[in-house]
A and B are shown apart, each in its own frame.
Chain A
C-alpha cells in the first residue's frame, strides 16, 4: 500500500459545527503533516507529527486541533471555523529515514467549505 488516504473528500460545515478530517497511511512512515491550500495558492504547512508527537505547529489558530492516535492515523478536529478557513486540506506522510532523499507523499485532500 503506497498511498495516503483522506476522508471525507468534501465537507460542508457551519460556523458552529464540530467536524473531523481523517488521514491514513500504511507505508510505515513516521512523520505526518497537515497542509492548508487556498485556491491558486501553494500549500501552507500547519502541523507536523514525528513519531506520533507534535513537532511543528505553524501558529495555527486553536479552532484547528490535530491528533495522532497512532503511527498510521492523523486527524484534524475542526470547531467554530470561519468562512475564510474554506480550503483544500492536504495530508502527507514521510518515512523520516531517507536523509537527503526524504520526500513527502500527499493524499488527495479534503475540500472544506465553511458557511
Chain B
C-alpha cells in the first residue's frame, strides 16, 4: 500500500529559526514529490516539485530534497517568518494519483 508519513505533526518555532519538515513514503516507484502549503480553510499552493530523478529543488528560502532509494524527503525553511505559519503537505505522485501525507502544522511566533 502506498503511504506517506510526515513528521512532526506540529511544530512551533520563534521567528528567524531554520527548520526541517520530514516526509517518508513506502513505495519508491514515484513520478515526483511535491510540497504544498495550505492556509486554514483554503486550497493548496504548490511550493516545490522534485522529479523522481532529481535530488533537490530550491525556491527562495525553501529547499526540498529527495532520496528516492530510502523513501524520504525533507523541506528546509530558512529564516522562518510569521507568514510561514500554515500546514505543509507532502504529496507523492504515483501514475495519475497524488498520495498525501497528513501534514505538518507550522506556527512561527513573532
Contact = CB atoms under 8 A, between A and B. Distances in A.
The DSSP consensus for interface residues of chain B is: strand
B98 A45 contact: yes
A45 B32 contact: no
A50 B96 CA distance: 9
A109 B45 CA distance: 12
A4 B45 CA distance: 11
B51 A101 contact: yes
Contacts of B45: 106
Given A48-B96, A102-B32, A109 B52 contact: no
Interface residues of A, number: 26
B106 interface: no
Given A48-B96, A100-B51, A101-B49, A90 B31 contact: no
A42 B93 contact: no
B32 to A, nearest CB: 6
Interface string B15-42: 0000000000000000110101000011
Contact of A104 (B42, B98, B101): B98
B43 interface: yes
B100 A100 contact: no
Contact of B43 (A42, A48, A106): A106
Given A48-B97, A106-B43, 10 more contacts: A4-B43, A43-B98, A45-B98, A56-B96, A100-B51, A102-B32, A106-B36, A106-B45, A108-B43, A111-B41
